[in-house]
Amino acid sequence: MNIKTANQSQKKPKDIAADEVLSLSEQLSQAIKKLEYETRAQKPMQSLSAFPEVIYQARKLRKLSMADVADLAGISKNAYQSIEKGASSPKLETVISIAKVFGLKLWVE
């Protein structure tokens, strides 16, 4: 008759290399950042004055340069830079173009 102890019946965990742990840690960190961003993005902006911060955070999260976003939105880099810094008030058409780059939803009440 064979009797197994609790220790004998448990499977040993797979050995994980340090670089795999680091990679998994980085992936988890990115997933958390994405979730935090998506959670913030679901909260409505109360006014257009929040737009510069929203697009700054969205750009950084996606690791895009200002020139990249400007290109995708069809505006000049200087125009985008001015909008992101809050130094200018963009036309509605420009706001929509930038929002599309980041997949942001806009609505007017």
What is the pTM for the complete model shown?
0.58
CA 96-101-103 angle, to 5 degrees, is 85
**Considering only CA atoms, which of 54, 48, 35 is closest in space to residue 103?**
54
Q: Per residue in 54-98, pLDDT tens?
A: 999 999 999 999 999 999 999 999 999 999 999 998 999 999 999
Q: How far apart are CA 45 and CA 99, in angstroms?
A: 12
Question: One-letter amino acid identity for 7?
Answer: N
Domains defined for the chain, CATH in brackets? 20-102 (1.10.260.40)
Q: Per residue in 3-45, pLDDT tens?
A: 555 555 555 555 666 677 667 777 777 777 666 665 555 555 5
